């Protein structure tokens, strides 16, 4: 009976354990978690979501305070178009996070950064350009383009000296999205180094509509695998979404996947960025505690725990401090929903906004509990402690369980 360790992900001459820990913003997939994946011979992701905020927490910078000071005058204004990011500060935050993560890297594995196109930051092209290029400048091993079609992202890096040697890949949820990307980037004469195929059981934003349950990762993988064979494109395919055991992973590796990308099981480990209180919420969740909803202002459905404090919260939009989801005209669906409720309840001290949430503020504060479909199985991967809480595992324990387990078994901690 095969285990994941019988397979290797080949990047040029480099061989890796075919386990990738997916990017989880905002700093849920921490540098510490990515470093463990790299140390153990796989690939870990840091995330480039809200890096000025992450940098303030980690490296004692003051980017958020400075931005708020500059735009404080605008807090009561519903028009947020004036609230812009300082490109120099984005570059500095990215440089700090990437270079510090890379300096700490040990072992044979790699560290990639997850870069979401949907973080439009009131200047989509300019801010994305700075984020991508600074990550390359700062020595990142690879970039995973996510949450969007990324039709111009390769072009934004085209003249960067590392454009052809860094590992660059994209997350897609359909053959159509992949074809669009390949068509658009064809003239650059540079194929992606890997393609992550993310199915509907993943955490975070989904590349599906609310009919996500009709789709299945094995089927999408097979379709894309067939397409690459027909086109004679030799690009490693990575399966993601709902791969909960080593045996699940093997079932993909035996059918054309070069690696798997996993995340949910790493939301309950010490190295993960979630506060322990929140990890306990994840572990104790049952299947009926999880939903896919449309409260994200990005327009993508998102899976989360129903008791996330973000759901129904009517806080004032935090764009003067954050503003990561402002589109190119300074709009965000939460601002509209918030203003509608304020107008409808002019005398209310506190309002509730049910249809959208202020994702920046709530992700930043770990109050939006996005999770994978199988989060309800986390309790089967650990022990209950005498005080009723669950034992938090180490990333190494979970990584090695994926790597060596057979027969759908899950190794319990000592
Ligand atoms: C808590 C959480 C946050 C996530 N955040 C992001 C993100 O910021 N960007 C992204 O591309 N994917 C995100 N994902 C998706 C993962 O990177 C990964 O592809 C997917 O969840 C794998 O499926 P699994 O969780 O069932 O193992 C997130 C997943 C989880 C569980």
Nearest CA to ligand 1 atom 26: 242
Classify residue 289 as left (phi > 0), alpha (psi -120 to 50) or beta: alpha
Q: Does residue 197 sit in helix, strand or coil?
A: strand
Find the angle CA(65)-CA(204)-CA(128) to the nearest 5 degrees: 55
> Which residue in the block uniquely carries the two structure tokens 């075919």?
18
Cα(320)–Cα(141) distance, integer angstroms: 33
207 lines ligand 1 (CB under 6 A): no
Pocket test for ligand 1, best of 49, 145, 246, 263 (most atoms within 8 A of CB): 263
Q: pLDDT digits over 37-83, tens only?
A: 999 999 999 999 999 999 999 999 999 999 999 999 999 999 999 99
Handedness of CA 181, 187, 188, 190 (dihedral sign): positive
Ligand 1 and 28: CB distance under 6 A = yes
Residues of the chain with pLDDT under 50: none
Q: Is 110 in the pocket of ligand 1 (CB under 6 A)?
A: no
CB-ligand 1 contact for 115 (6 Å cutoff): no
40: its two tokens: 């153990």
Non-local (6+) Cβ contacts of 79 within 8 A are 330
Give yes or no for a contact between 224 and 202, defined as CB atoms under 8 angstroms apart. no
- Closest ligand 1 atom, residue 23 Cα: 17
Residue identifier of the C-alpha nearest atom 4 of ligand 1: 24
Ligand 1 and 114: CB distance under 6 A: yes
Closest CA to 39 of 91, 108, 103: 108
Q: Would you say the CB of residue 24 lies under 6 angstroms from ligand 1?
A: yes
Measured distance CA(326)–CA(124) in Å, rounded: 9
43-47 and 110-116 strand pairing: parallel
What's the 340 CA to ligand 1 centre distance in angstroms?
31
Strands, sheet with 302-305, edge to edge from the N-terminal-most edge strand: 204-205, 302-305, 290-293
Q: Is the CB of 263 under 6 A from ligand 1?
A: yes
Q: Among 4, 23, 113, 375, name the best residue to mutate to test ligand 1's pocket (greatest count of ligand atoms within 8 A of Cβ).
A: 23
For ligand 1, whether the C-beta of 49 sits within 6 Å is: yes
Please give the Cα distance from 196 to 243 (Å, whole number): 13
Verdict on whether the full-model pTM lies above 0.95? yes
203 lines ligand 1 (CB under 6 A): yes
């Amino acid at each position: 009976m095969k285990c994941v360790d019988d397979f290797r992900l080949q990047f040029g001459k480099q061989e890796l354990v075919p386990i990738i820990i997916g990017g989880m913003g905002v700093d849920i997939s921490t540098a510490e978690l990515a470093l463990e994946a790299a140390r153990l011979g796989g690939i870990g992701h840091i995330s480039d979501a809200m890096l000025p905020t992450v940098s303030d927490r980690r490296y004692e910078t003051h980017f958020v305070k400075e931005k708020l000071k500059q735009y404080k005058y605008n807090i009561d204004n519903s028009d947020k178009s004036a609230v812009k990011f300082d490109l120099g500060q984005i570059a500095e935050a990215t440089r700090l996070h990437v270079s510090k993560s890379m300096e700490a890297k040990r072992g044979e594995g790699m560290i990639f950064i997850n870069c979401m196109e949907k973080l439009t930051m009131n200047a989509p092209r300019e801010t994305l350009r700075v984020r991508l290029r600074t990550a390359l400048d700062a020595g990142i091993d690879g970039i995973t383009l996510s949450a969007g079609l990324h039709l111009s992202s390769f072009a934004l890096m085209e003249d960067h000296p590392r454009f052809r040697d860094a590992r660059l890949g994209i997350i897609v949820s359909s053959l159509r999205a992949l074809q669009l990307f390949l068509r658009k980037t064809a003239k650059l004469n540079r194929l992606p180094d890997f393609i992550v195929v993310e199915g509907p059981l993943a955490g975070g934003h989904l590349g599906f509509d609310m009919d996500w349950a009709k789709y299945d990762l094995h089927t999408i993988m097979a379709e894309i695998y067939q397409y690459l064979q027909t086109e004679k494109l030799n690009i490693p395919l990575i399966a993601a979404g709902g791969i909960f055991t080593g045996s699940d992973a093997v079932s993909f590796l035996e059918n054309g996947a070069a690696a798997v990308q996993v995340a949910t099981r790493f939301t309950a480990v010490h190295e993960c960025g979630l506060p322990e209180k929140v990890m306990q919420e994840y572990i104790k969740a049952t299947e009926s505690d999880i939903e896919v909803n449309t409260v994200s202002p990005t327009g993508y459905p998102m899976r989360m725990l129903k008791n996330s404090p973000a759901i129904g919260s009517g806080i004032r939009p935090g764009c003067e401090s954050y503003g990561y989801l402002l589109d190119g005209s300074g709009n965000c669906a939460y601002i509209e929903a918030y203003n509608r409720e304020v107008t409808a309840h002019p005398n209310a001290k506190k309002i509730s906004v049910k249809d959208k949430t202020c994702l920046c503020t709530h992700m930043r504060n770990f109050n939006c509990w996005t999770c994978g479909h199988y989060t309800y199985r986390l309790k089967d991967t650990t022990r209950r402690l005498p005080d009723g809480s669950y034992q938090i595992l180490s990333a190494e324990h979970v990584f090695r369980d994926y790597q060596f387990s057979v027969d759908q078994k899950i190794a319990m901690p000592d």
